[in-house]
Amino acid sequence: MTAGRSFRLASGGLVARDAPLRFSFDGADYEGLAGDTLASALLANGVRLAGRSFKYHRPRGIVAAGSEEPNALVELGAVGRREPDTRATTAELFDGLSARSQNRWPSLRFDAMAVNSLFAPLLGAGFYYKTFMWPASFWERLYEPLIRRAAGLGRIAEARDPDRYETVHDHCDVLVVGAGPAGIAAALAAARAGAKTILVEEDFVAGGRLVADRREIDGVGGAEFARAAQAELAGLPNARVLVRTALFGAYDHGEYGAVERVTDHLADPPPFAVRQRLRRIFAKRCIVAAGAIERPLPFGDNDRPGVMLAGAVRAYLNRYAVTPGTRAVVFADNDDAARTLADLALAGVEVAAHVDPRPGAAARLTAASGVATRAIEGVVTRALGRLAVTGAASVDAAGAAWRVDCDLIAVSGGWTPSAHLTTHLGGKPAWREDIGAFAPGALPPGMAVAGAAAGDFGLADALTGGWAAGARAAQDLGFAPPPPREPKVDPDAPARASTLRVHPGARGKVFVDLQNDVTTGDVALARREGFRRPEHLKRYTTLGMATDQGKTSGPLGLAELAALEGREVSDLAPTTWRPPFTPVAIGALAGAHVGPDLQPTRLPPAHAVAVEMGAVFVPAGPWLRAQYYPQGAESGWLEAADAEVRAVRAAAGVCDVSTLGKFEVAGADAAAFLDFAFANPVGALAPGRVRYGLLLRDDGMAMDDGTVARLAPHRFVVTSSSVGGPAAHLHFDFQRQARKPDLDVRIENVTSQWAQFSVAGPRARDAIARVLDPAFDVSDAAFPYLAAGEARLAGGEPARLFRLSYSGERAYEIATPAQWGAGLFRALVAACEELGGRAYGLEALNVMRIEKGHVAGSEIDGRTTPRDLGLDKFVAKKKDFVGRAMLSRPTLLDPARPSLVGLRSVEPDARIVAGAHLLAEGAPFDARHDLGHVTTFGHSPTLGRWIALALVKDGAARIGTRLRAVEPLRGHDALCEVVAPAQFDPEGSRLHG
Amino acid sequence: MKFSFASVLSNALGGNAAWPAQWRSPEPKASYDAVIVGAGGHGLATAYYMAKERGLTNVAVIEKGWLGGGNTGRNTTIIRSNYLWEESEAIYEHAMGLWQELSTELNYNVMYSARGVMMLAHDRHDVETFKRHVHANRLAGIDNEWISAGEAKAFCPPLDVSPTLRFPVVGAALQRCGGVARHDAVAWGYARAASAMGVDIVQNCAVTGIRRDPSGAVAGVETSKGFIGAKKVGVVAAGHTSTVMAMAGVRMPLESYPLQALVSEPVKPFMPCVVMSNKIHAYMSQSDKGELVIGAGTDAYTSYSQRGALHISEHTLEAICELFPAVRRLRMLRNWGGIVDVTPDRSPIIGRTPVAGLFVNCGWGTGGFKATPGSGHVFAHTLATGEPHPIAAPFSLDRFRTGRLIDEAAAAAVAH
């Protein structure tokens, strides 16, 4: 037992000894220091058992000191803030932090599920593909629920996350990823040259290996060098250093995704502070200085708590002043071991043995480091112990077996450049024999790599390489490069070069992917079964699919596969790294777009007036529109809408149609452009006139409809439907840019700039006259049907007037700039009410358009042609227009195609509902007898019954017959009469009434 | 070796040392009766059913990369058949029937899990559209029902159905027999079964040309491993179909777009079913491993790059957070893209081409995985007989000339 004792060194490290922090793990209370991670604080308290593995529930400890940690995943927070699968090695300690272990029952020390290990031979790679099939029905009822319950690591939050997130956009000349020595040098070079520079670092301290190793640059310690550089950059107006900011992805066109942890490390975040901030960084140049990731070495039970990467051991010793063990074995196949030996010895940790398989290397490095220890030329074959390492079994070159007592095995299989970001845009890493690793290959435009990420493992090389990359990036962008600098550093050989080979001799269960419990046996089995490509191996065994995305296991898996195949690692292609480099909170990616801000709610300018009037609203696309305006005792939509329709048909009504898509189209070729964009000949329109406009898609299907008004020879105002506005805008712009780039035409979307109201009914002219400048002549002689023009309101405000009708009544549409919209609506409502009318909403609008047989979105559903909708009379015969060629395809001309008809219920009270299917009387309810469907319905007070529009096979031929409208869900079955689409005033006499 | 309790047990006792390769890895022969281009789920299923049901085993499936490495291994594994048009209903329901017994059929557990697919309605338009779908499905005898928001919540407890949401859930269409399957296993299971019957699966073999005889008919394919003769060639190359078909001079009515998907870190069981919202672009289920599997949208621009833009994923995750507020602290683990081939009517093309002996099965867009068994089954018929299977007949290439389109996309079913 180690708990209860302090493993904190008496001095050193970047921890604040005067700032103790209380925290708990699995309910036990501990104390750490400011500057600790949860992992270092646990180690300082002698807690080395941190979690259980995914499949076999094996006890696991802390392996790494950064975001590559595969094992030590814990749960933080509670209720809505519960955060599963959090790496203890990156969780910054704060006072009151409470962490729990995961995936164990009943406790971390005694986990009953560890019984799975006994069945390991049955649970090998891909076992589930071969089993659980008998009987087949048991898969869903028994096997799958069992597997699901066993799988998964942590537990998701129990409630809505109360914290806030936000997204910001940063723009810079040079983005530097990673504030290790290379990144610091690159950022200094770029920033001193004058380039706008951003340096991001995922850790909460800048420095990278400079704070993990004992190094000197220009006579100062590495940590001091990093601190000074950070201060210098912070003082430059053109540079920023963002710590706690993980760059997780590279995207096209110089976009990078980063997430900044703003308050995760604070015990009491300030109110209203965001928890995390997504930074979308747009950079002209990017320098990836993300360092390198150390590789473990495979041996039996290499997953025991106490087996730790050598670089992590040094980080705990030097940065956190914590000894992760008291008696260590160092097992490495590269010269970096010398540094590990020296640091352990300096911290007073006894080094029991140094094991290195390379001939003579152990003795040479041991001698060079001056550490008194046993040098073994050989390999560690197995870690001993269960809940913690108690020793290492080893075999030397002569075949002699050694057993060494220890509680720490520091391993290093060399280092692999962190090339992840260089591959997100499709680049492939390339093998570098000199360093024994895959390094960045071809780079995307604007990206460079420096330091260990580029395979330059030496400190001097990192500094000069980083400086050169920063200077070059600045120079590329036109900045004068700063003078080169020659830092003086303590000497280091290219110590980390290794061979990425499997050293034979391992005994027992050897883990390749620690988190997903993938062993060398699994790799061998998968290969035997034909999964010989790294991508297949990954998918069959799940190697590299854990939350660390194979940062430490990937190279090991490749080496294992290469050994089994008898091939060189360099012959294999590593699996593709996906964004994000490190997992990113989904809430951060969603940012502030939550709740009501998910998408803007668009409100027409007169919305407040409708609210005052007690309107009931309905969402229509992004808009909120008035559905009806109940008055007096009207109890619901049906009564109110009936009354509104009657008022319009008898006197005058006003409807807010500000939501229509509105476009100004201007230019010498505006008429020619609109003639191409619309299926009907709108270009021939005379100034001062307006007409219906029909838009088709390329395939000849109706897309949307609206109106086109010509205000002046080169100036048009176009409307689309409300919901179709954004699509119409894209359509117009696409046609202009792609199809008609030579035309002199400009298109402006002015949907929000204008309020617009429809005034309809026999007294509509009187209503309109009351709000207009009295000088404006609205007589039929001066302003006949389909006239359009510019006018002034009674108060002198500008307005546009169109004589259009959707309801079938004499009607006008009047528009005014948005700021006068509410006033105009108020005035129109007053005018209509004085004339015996009232405001009407979407419901009444829909009823009247059904009465008139006008189509809308429910009929223009992307599957109907102008002919289907009875609009073929509008389609031009002579000119070219979008959709023309495809419109004449034979099937589109088939007379049997479903076409638009009107329906009215035979029994006045029998409701026809939208979506009902139409069947012949007496026909059974099946697909063969299906004749069509109801697109929209309403109650017509004018006709005194339920009416509808429908698309029916052989529609025209069925007019005068009867059909059943059947809706099985609610049991509606209405007998209806098929009629022409325009059921009311088919001659259109009321337009002029 | 047949997978059975006995074989699993005896192999476990023997250290799992005796399992054979699940498929052979032969070099291609000089010629075959038929060559299938593309070893994804659809291509491998085609080969399997040709061998199984037509006795045609002198068949090669050739693959540029590794089998199952395209959209088969990149999709969100949703299976459903509640489509609107009878042609679509027929083919997806055909597939649905084959999914039921697929694990047994292939002797490979593809983990088909009929946990229910729920499509959320958020406004009146959705309600009317979905009800119309439900009616159409009822007419065709296909499982689909309409449920209230409360019933949706009961079926999927973590779903937020509060009326104050920006796009409140007002109901849902539920297909209880819909669900998910393990995508990789589908490719591997078909590959193993087809290979066992004699089909050659040749990986790392890119098609570089399509050779035609003097009459214009197909004579075989030029590949990175040399010429392979075949009187019949079936192209099943998803996002790259148009480039392969261009080698035979056939211009396809296809556009290729990147489509993204992502998974979260694995957590204990959270949601029991598949939830889709076309309105706000959110598609989510939970894998047996515990990861939330989330489908995002396509980029606005055509591309062959197997990656998408960041803002597309962001947009989807906004919607996911709206519907499932508990996921915000969970982390996205992996995000990737595939290339989907989209036809003008968002329905597939299965059948003959203007070139004799050249057949194509493509255009599955964002919804191909669910069709895999049905697609392979009907295309096997076409390759074997030269004639379209009755279910595939409406999905002819010719329909873009005649205009007999099967437009599933127009109203609501943009994502399949």
Give residue A3's pLDDT. Answer: 58
Give tens-digit pLDDT for A36-65.
999 999 999 999 999 999 999 999 999 999
Residues B129 and B188 in one domain: no
Give residue A121's pLDDT. Answer: 85
Report how far residue A300's alpha carbon sits from residue A383's, in angstroms, rounded to the nearest whole number: 6
Give residue B413's pLDDT. Answer: 39
Residues B200 and B219 in one domain: yes
Q: How far is CA A745 from CA A132, A748, A753, A920, B338, in A?
A: 66, 10, 20, 52, 38
What is the arithmetic mean of pLDDT over A508-515? 95
Give residue A494's pLDDT. Answer: 56
Q: Would B83 be classed as within a structural domain?
A: no
Residues B335 and B188 in one domain: no
Give tens-digit pLDDT for A160-200.
999 999 999 999 999 999 999 999 999 999 999 999 999 99
Give residue B416's pLDDT. Answer: 43
Q: Which of A530, A549, A915 sits opposite B334 (nearest CB)?
A: A549
Q: How far is CA A364 from CA A376, A380, A496, A858, in A?
A: 11, 18, 15, 82
Q: Is the pLDDT of residue A493 over 70?
A: no
Both tokens assigned to A178: 């990673």
Output the DSSP codes for B313-331: HHHHHHHHHHH-GGGTTSE
Both tokens assigned to B61: 């499936």
Q: Inspect the interface and report whether the beta carbons of A590 and B318 lie closer than 8 Å.
A: yes
Q: Are B302 and B255 within 8 A, CB to CB?
A: yes
Residues B35 and B170 in one domain: no
Give residue B412's pLDDT. Answer: 37
Cα Rg, chain A, nearest whole Å: 37
Placement of tokens 């992760």 in the chain: A324
Give residue B44's pLDDT. Answer: 98
What is the arithmetic mean of pLDDT over A860-874? 94
Q: Give CA B301 to chain center in angstroms.
A: 22
Q: Would B406 be classed as within a structural domain?
A: yes
Q: Is the pLDDT of residue A492 over 80?
A: no
Report how far residue A976's alpha carbon sits from residue A877's, in angstroms, rounded to the nearest whole number: 36
Closest CA to B74 of B159, B192, B186: B186
Q: How many C-beta neighbours within 10 Å does residue B224 have? A: 11
Q: What is the DSSP letter of A767?
A: H
Q: Would B1 be classed as within a structural domain?
A: no
Residues B337 and B349 in one domain: no
Q: Is the pLDDT of residue A609 over 50?
A: yes
Q: Are A872 and A884 within 8 A, CB to CB?
A: no
Give the chain A residue nearest B67 (alpha carbons): A536
Bridge-based pairing of strands B226-235 and B358-362 is parallel
Q: Is the pLDDT of residue A502 over 70?
A: yes
Q: Are B183 and B175 within 8 A, CB to CB?
A: no
Position A200, amino acid: V
Both tokens assigned to B261: 């998907």
Q: Which of B129, B135, B289 sits opposite A968 (nearest CB)?
A: B135
What is the arithmetic mean of pLDDT over A770-783? 96
Report how far residue A62's alpha carbon sits from residue A40's, in angstroms, rounded to the nearest whole number: 9
Closest CA to A587 of B82, B328, B410: B328
Q: Which of B19, B138, B317 sits opposite A590 (nearest CB)?
A: B317
Q: Are A314 and A343 within 8 A, CB to CB?
A: yes
CA distance A857 to chain B (A): 9
Cis peptide before A135 (omega within 30 of 0): yes
Bridge-based pairing of strands B31-37 and B59-62 is parallel
Residues B351 and B394 in one domain: yes
**Who contacts A635 (Cβ-Cβ below 8 Å, separation ≥6)?**
none
Q: Which of A129, A424, A892 sits opposite B307 (nearest CB)?
A: A424
Q: Which of A149, A163, A891 sits opposite B269 (nearest CB)?
A: A149
Question: How buried is residue A390: exposed, middle or buried, by Cβ count under 10 Å (0-12/13-18/19+)?
Answer: middle
Q: Would B336 be classed as within a structural domain?
A: yes
Ramachandran angles phi, psi of A405, nearest 5°: -70, 135
Mean of the per-residue pLDDT values of chain A: 95
What angle in degrees, to the nearest 10, is found between the helix axes of A310-318 and A337-346? 30
Give residue A482's pLDDT. Answer: 87
Position A749, amino acid: N
Q: What angle do CA A453, A215, A240 make, to 5 degrees?
A: 55
Report how far residue A652's alpha carbon sits from residue A809's, in angstroms, rounded to the nearest whole number: 9
Report how far residue A826's alpha carbon sits from residue A279's, in angstroms, rounded to the nearest whole number: 45
Give tens-digit pLDDT for A912-957.
999 899 999 989 888 889 999 999 999 999 999 999 999 999 999 9
Give residue B414's pLDDT. Answer: 46
Both tokens assigned to A873: 């009379």
Chain B residues whose beta carbon lies within 8 Å of the beta carbon of residue A967:
131, 135
SS3 (DSSP) at A374: strand
Give residue B330's pLDDT. Answer: 97
Of the pLDDT bands very low, low, confident and very high (cuts 50, 70, 90), residue A486 is confident
Q: Are A824 and A661 within 8 A, CB to CB?
A: no
Residues B309 and B365 in one domain: no
What is the arithmetic mean of pLDDT over A367-388? 95
Q: What is the mean pLDDT of each run of 10 residues along chain B (416 residues)?
A: 89 90 97 98 98 98 97 96 93 97 96 96 90 90 96 98 95 97 98 98 98 97 98 97 97 95 96 95 95 93 90 95 95 96 94 97 95 98 97 96 83 42
Ramachandran angles phi, psi of B22, nearest 5°: -75, -20
Give residue B152's pLDDT. Answer: 98
Give residue B411's pLDDT. Answer: 40
Q: Inspect the interface and report whether the beta carbons of A595 and B329 lie closer than 8 Å.
A: no
Output the DSSP codes for A552-592: THHHHHHHHHHHHHT--GGGSPPPPP-S-SS-EEHHHHHTT
Q: Are A284 and A172 within 8 A, CB to CB?
A: yes
Report how far residue B71's alpha carbon sits from residue B44's, in angstroms, rounded to the nearest whole number: 13
Chain A residues whose beta carbon lies within 8 Å of the beta carbon of residue B335:
249, 578-580
Give tens-digit pLDDT for A251-287.
999 999 999 999 999 999 998 899 999 999 999 999 9
Report how far residue A826's alpha carbon sits from residue A808's, in angstroms, rounded to the nearest whole number: 24
Q: Would B96 be classed as within a structural domain?
A: no
Q: How many C-beta neighbours within 10 Å does residue B400 have? A: 18
* CA dihedral of B284, B286, B292, B295, whole degrees rounded to 10: -30
From B295, B316, B342, the end of a domain falls on B342
Question: Percent of chain A at pLDDT above 90?
Answer: 88
Domain range spanning residue B288?
A: 117-176+256-342
SS3 (DSSP) at A976: strand
From B292, B327, B342, the end of a domain falls on B342
Of the pLDDT bands very low, low, confident and very high (cuts 50, 70, 90), residue A497 is confident
Q: Is the pLDDT of residue A643 over 60?
A: yes
Residues B242 and B292 in one domain: no
Residues B324 and B377 in one domain: no
**Who contacts A135 (Cβ-Cβ below 8 Å, separation ≥6)?**
none
Chain B residues whose beta carbon lies within 8 Å of the beta carbon of residue A525:
16, 19
Q: What is the DSSP letter of A233?
A: H
Mutate to test the interface with B, among A589, A893, A972 (most CBs of B within 10 A): A589
Q: Would B5 be classed as within a structural domain?
A: no
* A335 sits in which H/E element: none
ipTM above 0.90, yes or no: yes
**What's the number of domains chain B is made of?**
2
Q: Inspect the interface and report whether the beta carbons of B409 and A862 lie closer than 8 Å.
A: yes
Q: Would B165 be classed as within a structural domain?
A: yes
Give the chain A residue nearest B186 (alpha carbons): A129
Report how far residue A428's alpha carbon sits from residue B163's, in angstroms, rounded to the nearest whole number: 49
What is the arithmetic mean of pLDDT over A120-148? 87
Residue A266, CB-side half-sphere exposure with 13 Å CA sphere = 12
Sign of CA dihedral A905, A910, A913, A917: negative
Closest CA to B116 of B275, B323, B268: B275
Chain B residues whose beta carbon lies within 8 Å of the beta carbon of residue A535:
66, 69
Residues B284 and B147 in one domain: yes
Give residue B1's pLDDT. Answer: 84
Give the chain B residue nearest A576 (alpha carbons): B336
What is the arithmetic mean of pLDDT over A109-133? 88
**Who contacts B354 (Cβ-Cβ below 8 Å, separation ≥6)?**
B250, B397
Chain B residues whose beta carbon lies within 8 Å of the beta carbon of residue A77:
329
CATH of residue B209: 3.50.50.60
Report how far residue A908's alpha carbon sits from residue B196's, in angstroms, rounded to the nearest whole number: 67
Both tokens assigned to B320: 């996911």
Q: What is the DSSP letter of A855?
A: -
Least confident of A230-239, A745-754, B135-144: B135-144
Output the DSSP codes for A934-972: EEEEEEETTTTEEEEEEEETTHHHHTTSEEEEEETTTTE
From B326, B342, B358, the end of a domain falls on B342
Give the chain B residue nearest A546 (alpha carbons): B265
Q: Would B395 be classed as within a structural domain?
A: yes
Residues B262 and B335 in one domain: yes
Reduced DSSP (H G I as helix, E B as strand, rest coil) percent helix, strand, coil of chain A, to 5: 25, 30, 45
Q: Are A789 and A772 within 8 A, CB to CB?
A: no
Both tokens assigned to B266: 């694995």
SS3 per-residue string spanning A160-173: CCCCCEEEEEEEEE
Give residue A895's pLDDT. Answer: 86
Q: What is the DSSP letter of A772?
A: B
Closest CA to A812 of A758, A737, A749, A753: A758
Q: Is the pLDDT of residue A137 over 90?
A: no
Both tokens assigned to A625: 């529109």
Give the chain A residue nearest B132 (alpha carbons): A915
What angle in degrees, to the nearest 10, is found between the helix axes of B372-385 and B41-54? 50
What is the arithmetic mean of pLDDT over A696-701? 92
Give tens-digit pLDDT for A760-771.
999 999 999 999
Chain B residues whose beta carbon lies within 8 Å of the beta carbon of residue A427:
none
Count residue pairs from A and B with Cβ separation < 8 A.
320
Give residue A1's pLDDT. Answer: 45
Q: How many C-beta neighbours within 10 Å does residue B206 have? A: 15
* CA dihedral of B165, B171, B176, B180, whole degrees rounded to 10: -30
Residues B163 and B261 in one domain: yes
Mutate to test the interface with A, among B98, B303, B331 (most CBs of A within 10 A): B331
Give residue A926's pLDDT. Answer: 85
**Who contacts A548 (Cβ-Cβ below 8 Å, separation ≥6)?**
A67, A68, A69, A70, A515
Give tens-digit pLDDT for A655-685.
999 999 999 999 999 999 999 999 999 999 9
CATH of residue B129: 3.30.9.10
